[in-house]
A and B are shown apart, each in its own frame.
Chain A
Amino acid sequence: EAQVTQNPRYLITVTGKKLTVTCSQNMNHEYMSWYRQDPGLGLRQIYYSMNVEVTDKGDVPEGYKVSRKEKRNFPLILESPSPNQTSLYFCASSSVWGAQYFGPGTRLLVL
């Protein structure tokens, strides 16, 4: 089954404790992206990757890091999480000009 998977689905952590949210896709897509979704603000792009070892900032990259060492994986790293990073996070993938397919989401609470 073609899909985008994210782990964990739910995470509660404390300020300053480094965390990684994993994202994996099995569709051989070149393009992968991370979004956060907050009430009233819609979906905002954090980082995206056009291919292996090619990443770039989206609209709200501050406080986040990503890497793309393999085509299928695109982890999101929060080196020092803060409460304003409490949000619902989505990973998505697509062929470069195709429709994006979203993962199920990771709900993060930073205390």
Chain B
Amino acid sequence: GQQLNQSPQSMFIQEGEDVSMNCTSSSIFNTWLWYKQDPGEGPVLLIALYKAGELTSNGRLTAQFGITRKDSFLNISASIPSDVGIYFCAGRGSGNTGKLIFGQGTTLQVKP
């Protein structure tokens, strides 16, 4: 079945540093989504990507839909303490169920 590999698994960085994380798939996706989850809360949508090569920004966050349609990355610039949390990628393939495949998450910690 479809699998997503998300890396890194965790990051511990200094406030002000830039962050990069990525997801790769074993198969082609038509949609890539990036979410952030705070402990005990629901995932919150950060960025949605629908076209290969698409580059989209949301404030200090930038995400890209890879040209091969098998990968996506998320960058966070000038990190701040409230960026702490778990970041998930999710992808949707060409099946007719609308099902999302989720990465395992990247835990981000920011040292003030």
Contact = CB atoms under 8 A, between A and B. Distances in A.
Please report whether the interface of chain A is mostly helix, strand, loop or mixed according to DSSP: strand
- Most-contacted residue by chain A among B42, B43, B92, B100 (CB, 10 A): B42
A74 to B, nearest CB: 14
Given A43-B102, A100-B33, A50 B42 contact: no
B98 A31 contact: yes
Contacts of B97: 48, 50, 56
Given A90-B42, A99-B48, A103-B42, A48 B102 contact: no
Contacts of B43: 43, 90, 102
Given A31-B98, A50-B97, A99-B45, A105 B92 contact: no
A68 interface: no
Contacts of A65: none
Interface residues of A, number: 23
Contact of A101 (B45, B92, B102): B45
A99 B70 CA distance: 18
A100 B102 CA distance: 12
B40 A100 contact: no
